[in-house]
Structure 1
């Protein structure tokens, strides 16, 4: 720690190391923690960004990752899926395994996270799967009407980055979807109301649904283009594998119930 560091910078330098304070959040290296047969991706000690069971690497371990896929009730047969934030690749792996007809495009802005993709069994790029190193907000701005389904789970150790919190970003989320498309976003933050307000401005006040996670301190917001909510597809209408439909049956039931109660 240098003599010029005072106040909060000095405290952070003591906690994380001086070099870490000066590194932008999207370039900071995550750590890997092992707990028995489970490995975790962490930016801050004790806070897991992703979890994976090594003997079953495609399983969705954290509740919100399952809830986000409740958006499949609105878009039962997505042909093109966009994802902002790779992390340990939980949703990317799950969709790749269980949505065989979908093309999946993931954008991640941290090269150190990308370097861990084999450690977390993230598939190699192929004809229907690719991971791009880029700023998520910038990347999404160039994907007009590119996706049926958009999943946003972009975090660093500070929370949701500012670039993924603006009204312009949410407007780009809406523009990136085809008519009849939907998105899901993980809102693990101190100001979820701000994000919901911006989603409502982008999609319309009647086209946003917030689902609380009872076992976690976060929530998932679903948003859809005009008319999508009326679909509420039955499980057997989905392109998901039978295994995944059984696995996510409770999530789908919860989403349908929440839509019906609006």
Structure 2
């Protein structure tokens, strides 16, 4: 039986100024997004760099779906550093979208658009296929419930191209975290890994359609050389850490 949720009550976001940075918040003190005014396209919060892990498998995807806009960190980075990629961003909260100019989110054009919709509804009804789906849907209560259901993961799986990648930001401290993780693993037939974010209470789910996650078909040099020096500087250390984790997991699997 499908999970049933009431329509979420949308909190009003607010912005704080910190010297040369802007941060996005809801009702609690937790920073939802952080932007340096000197480098508005930069990935300032560690988990956003972890979410770019998909580049190790797909350095130049044709079409990315992002669920959750926030301050637009991932959207801006991908728009700048993936110039041949079409990007669709789905955001449920109109007040968040209203802040897009303040956070320097690009205007809609032929390859970039922001859609006002519930991410779960969007993937249920969408007909377009995507190479990558990024899920970063949080509100004032934490992880959005409708983005953790079995149906949601199945819809994401259906929309992905063969060997497509799902990357999702998860809340480790959510009481149902293990349940949410099991749903994703079952949908993706265990072709997934959970990557812990250093010194944070969240982790990143990295799942692939049809093929197992393995560092054996990833190349750090190939991935980084496909992008600008700015992108390389921001991602190199995190990508090295992730490849080390994957290599360790594979070695343990080989020994078992």
Unaligned stretches of 5+ in structure 1? 1-23
1:235 equivalenced with 2:218 (yes/no): no
Residue 44 of structure 1 aligns to a residue in which SS?
A: coil
Q: Distance in 2 between matches of 1:26 and 1:146?
A: 30
Structure 2 counterpart of 1:254:
241
One of 171, 188, 199 as aligned partner of 1:203: 188
Structure 1 counterpart of 2:91:
108
One of 128, 132, 148 as aligned partner of 2:115: 132
Aligned-CA RMSD value: 1.7
**Displacement over 4 Å in runs of 4+:** none
CA shift digits 1:169-204 (9 cap, x unpaired): 011111111001111111124132122101111101
Residues 25, 157 of structure 1: 8 Å contact kept: no
CA-CA distance at 1:250 after TM superposition: 1.4
TM-score (norm 1): 0.86
TM-score (norm 2): 0.88
Q: Distance in 2 between matches of 1:34 and 1:237?
A: 35
Unaligned stretches of 5+ in structure 2? 1-6, 250-256
Residues 151, 184 of structure 1: 8 Å contact kept: yes
Structure 1 counterpart of 2:65:
82
CA shift digits 1:117-137 (9 cap, x unpaired): 000000000011000001100
For the pair shown, the structure with the greater C-alpha radius of gyration is 1
1:222 equivalenced with 2:206 (yes/no): yes
Paired residues, what number? 238
